[in-house]
Structure 1
Amino acid sequence: MSTNVDDQKLEQKPVFKASSFQIIKASKKKYVWKSLKQIIASEKTLPWPEDCVHYGSINAPPSFKPPQKFSDLSGLPAPYTDPQTRLRYANKEEYATIIDLPMDITAGYLALRGATSIVG
């Protein structure tokens, strides 16, 4: 009796599935993220109304806050500047490192930041 019931269950197809239903395997290709430059370029090609706001149309006024300064060695917020070398530092350990640096490396740090060369 149980074999007859099992045979009936196998023969019955689910009502909610269509007969043309097929399983398609997803590709193993990973999603590639777009950069902001690519997003702006693709938005410029689309026809936008005049009052629509998108990445390319946002015009922000200049900030009234001064730019935040970061340490030249560690990248941490730097409240201090060495008056001799003009390198920015965050704590006393970085200052001890700055004192021991030769002038060519100090000039390299300033060049990376885009600061003017050392005077004196």
Structure 2
Amino acid sequence: MANPSEDVYQKEERKYVFKNPDFDSNKTVNGKKKMWRSLKQIIAQERNLPWPDDTINYSCISAPPSFKPAKKYSDISGLIAKYKDPQTSLYYAGHEEFSTVRNLPSDIITGYLTLRGAYNPIG
């Protein structure tokens, strides 16, 4: 009977598709070990370079507004809301939530609207 630890050494080493077999992480440059930089360091260095004004990089990406309408989520459950209560202005996803919305006290409703950023204390 063979020793199970010997079978481990006989198995072929896995070759991952995403790895470059020629990559060496222990390279040295002029006798010094190569230092790796984090993304934060790379972005900080990129900010200090003399870029033209119209260049897009990681620190100044600006996208145009979306053509699709924003999704509305239920204030109670967080599910995608199909309905809005006209009395309280809370979004809800189904009839179970509608009965919950109608039975909420006004201070809780105000809290939900404040969390969503839709509460206007003046009007």
TM-score (norm 2): 0.55
Select the structure that is richer in helix.
Answer: 1
1:14-53 Cα shifts (integer Å, max 9, x gaps): xxxxxxxxxxxxxxxxxxx98xxx6896355442643754
User: Which runs of structure 1 show a deviation greater than 6 angstroms over 4 or more consecutive aligned residues?
Assistant: none
Of structures 1 and 2, the larger Rg is shown by 1
TM-score (norm 1): 0.56
The CA RMSD measured in Å over matched residues stands at: 3.2
Structure 1: gaps spanning 5 or more residues = 1-32
Equivalent position of 1:58 in the other structure: 61
> Which SS does the other structure have where 1:94 is aligned?
helix
| 1:113 and 2:98 aligned | no
Q: State the percentage of identical aligned residues.
A: 48
CA distance in 2, matches of 1:40, 1:85: 49
Structure 2: gaps spanning 5 or more residues = 1-37
1:112 CA drift (Å): 0.9
Amino acid at match of 1:109: Y
Equivalent position of 1:13 in the other structure: none
1:96 CA drift (Å): 1.4
The count of corresponding residues between Structure 1 and Structure 2 is 85
Q: 1:74 to 1:39 in 2, by over 3 A?
A: farther
